[in-house]
A = this chain, B = another copy of it.
Amino acid sequence: MLKEERHRIILNEVRIHNRVLLTDIAEFLKVSPDTIRRDIKILHERKELKKVHGGAISLGFNNQSTVRPEIYALEKKTRIVEKAITLLKDGQVVLLSGGTTNFELARLLPPSLKLVCFTPSLPIAGQLLSKPNVETIFVGGRLSRDSQIAIGGSTLGILSQIKADICFLGTNSIHPDEGLTEFDWDIVQIKKAMIKSSRKVVAPCISEKLDSVRRYKICDISEVDILVTELHPSDNRLDVFGSGDVKLL
């Protein structure tokens, strides 16, 4: 285990969870706590994290909600997001729907990445604002109380004027035959519009939502360009999805 490698892992932990416990990571990496202590000390001096009694925490208290609402299956979503971020390049125009996976995506965007991001989601817009190189455009409209995203006619109208390079569709349910489905009619309309406004459609989706179906249809599988799950692309659970033009990641 190289020192640099440990540093990377530690920083990654901090990036994802906003903190790291010294004893945990020491056991996980199979080195003595002293070593981790030294690592953290170095990273602290480099101002890459903040060393505290018992471990380390992330620097920027920029995060509006340090106490983030408990996100279901966070680990899996983090893995999805890490893959999804590789699809992004400087200068792109990105469209982000709502949902916790996209929220994580916004939170974990590398600070150096230069993007123009459109989103109708209030919490995601808040996250994006903390990224120094992201220009954030809120797609306004009537806000839905529970999903915290803009819905309705005027929002659709604005979306129709956008042409984004890539769109990340927070995906509730996906099924090889039924396609992408949702239980909220208004959100279905928003997502349909987002698909229309993007050159490329990415569907980040945790594996347990594969093969599930909701009441209203957003689109067929074939309209999705890239399906990102926490599984390995060759996992046989994905076979039925990757048959068409859909790329798996």
Residues of A near any B CB (own CB < 8 A): 2-5, 8-9, 11-13, 18-19, 21, 50, 52-55, 57, 61, 65-67, 120, 122, 125-126, 128-129, 135-143, 145, 148, 150, 154-155, 158
Contact = CB atoms under 8 A, between A and B. Distances in A.
B143 A54 contact: no
A108 to B, nearest CB: 18
A109 to B, nearest CB: 14
Contact of A140 (B57, B141, B148): B141
Contacts of A50: 4
B136 A8 contact: no
Nearest to A13: B67
B142 A129 contact: no
A140 B139 contact: yes
Contact of A19 (B5, B65, B138): B5
A57 B136 contact: no
